[in-house]
A and B are shown apart, each in its own frame.
Chain A
Amino acid sequence: MSEKKIRILIAKPGLDGHDRGAKVIARALRDDGMEVIYTGLRQTPDMIAEAALQEDVDAVGLSILSGAHNALVPQIIEKLRGNGQNNVYVFLGGIIPEADIPHLLEAGVTKVYGPGTNTQTVCRDIREAIAPE
Chain B
Amino acid sequence: MPTALVEKALQGDKLSITHLLTAVESETPKGIQALDLIYPHTGKAHKIGITGAPGSGKSTLVAALVKELRTLPNKPKIAVIAVDPTSPFSGGALLGDRVRMLHIQHDPDVFIRSMATRGALGGLSDRTEAFTQVFDAAGYDYVLIETVGAGQSEVDVVNLAHTVIVVDTPDMGDDIQAIKAGILEIADVLVVNKADRPGVDGTVRNLQNMVNAGHGKDLNVHHHRFLTEKNQEKLEHLVEEDYWFPPVLKTVATENTGIALLAEKIIEHGKFLKDHGLWELKKELAMHEIVSRNLRLALYRRWIEDADKTKLQAILNDLLEKRISPNQAVQALMAL
Q: Is there contact, CB below 8 Å, between A54 and B111?
A: yes
Query: Residue-by-residue, is B83-122 near A (CB-CB < 8 Å gives 1, otherwise 0)?
Result: 0001100111111101100100110000111101010000
Q: A47 is contacted by which of B25, B95, B106 (Cβ under 8 Å)?
A: B106
Question: Which chain B residues border A3 with CB–CB below 8 Å?
Answer: 26
Q: B92 is contacted by which of A29, A38, A46 (Cβ under 8 Å)?
A: A29
Q: Is there contact, CB below 8 Å, between A30 and B26?
A: no
Given the known interface contacts A1-B27, A3-B26, A84-B15, the answer about A32 and B99 at a Cβ–Cβ threshold of 8 Å is: no
Given the known interface contacts A38-B96, A55-B18, the answer about A50 and B26 at a Cβ–Cβ threshold of 8 Å is: no
Question: Which chain A residues border B15 with CB–CB below 8 Å?
Answer: 53, 83-85
Q: Is there contact, CB below 8 Å, between A30 and B98?
A: no
Query: For chain B, what secondary structure do more than half of its interface residues adopt (helix, strand, loop), or is it mixed?
Result: mixed
Instruction: Tell me if B205 counts as interface (CB < 8 A to partner A).
Output: no
Interface range for A = 20 to 34
Query: Residue-by-residue, is B68-92 near A (CB-CB < 8 Å gives 1, otherwise 0)?
Result: 0000000000000000001100111
Interchain Cβ contacts within 8 Å, total number: 91
Q: Is there contact, CB below 8 Å, between B118 and A37?
A: no
Instruction: Tell me if B191 counts as interface (CB < 8 A to partner A).
Output: no
Q: How far is the CA of A58 from the CA of B15 in the complex (A)?
A: 13
Q: How far is the CA of A54 from the CA of B111 in the complex (A)?
A: 6
Question: Which chain A residues border B98 with CB–CB below 8 Å?
Answer: 37-40, 51
Q: How far is the CA of A55 from the CA of B93 in the complex (A)?
A: 14
Instruction: Tell me if B234 counts as interface (CB < 8 A to partner A).
Output: no
Q: How many residues of B contact A (CB 8 A)?
A: 32
Instruction: Tell me if B21 counts as interface (CB < 8 A to partner A).
Output: yes
Q: A46 is contacted by which of B93, B106, B112 (Cβ under 8 Å)?
A: B106
Q: How far is the CA of A7 from the CA of B114 in the complex (A)?
A: 10
Query: For chain A, what secondary structure do more than half of its interface residues adopt (helix, strand, loop), or is it mixed?
Result: mixed
Q: How far is the CA of A54 from the CA of B101 in the complex (A)?
A: 13
Q: Is there contact, CB below 8 Å, between B102 and A40?
A: yes
Q: How far is the CA of A30 from the CA of B94 in the complex (A)?
A: 6
Instruction: Tell me if A103 counts as interface (CB < 8 A to partner B).
Output: no
Q: Is there contact, CB below 8 Å, between A4 and B26?
A: yes
Q: A35 is contacted by which of B19, B27, B92, B105 (Cβ under 8 Å)?
A: B92
Instruction: Tell me if B14 counts as interface (CB < 8 A to partner A).
Output: yes
Mark out the residues of chain B between 23 and 37 whose CB falls within 8 Å of any chain A CB in the assembled complex: 25-29
Residue from A36, A38, A43, A54 having most chain B Cβ neighbours under 10 A: A54
Which residues in B have some Cβ–Cβ distance to A below 8 Å?
14-15, 18-19, 21-22, 25-29, 86-87, 90-96, 98-99, 102, 105-106, 111-114, 116, 118, 127
Closest 10 CB pairs of A and B: A40-B99, A30-B92, A56-B18, A4-B26, A33-B91, A84-B15, A33-B92, A56-B22, A37-B95, A30-B94
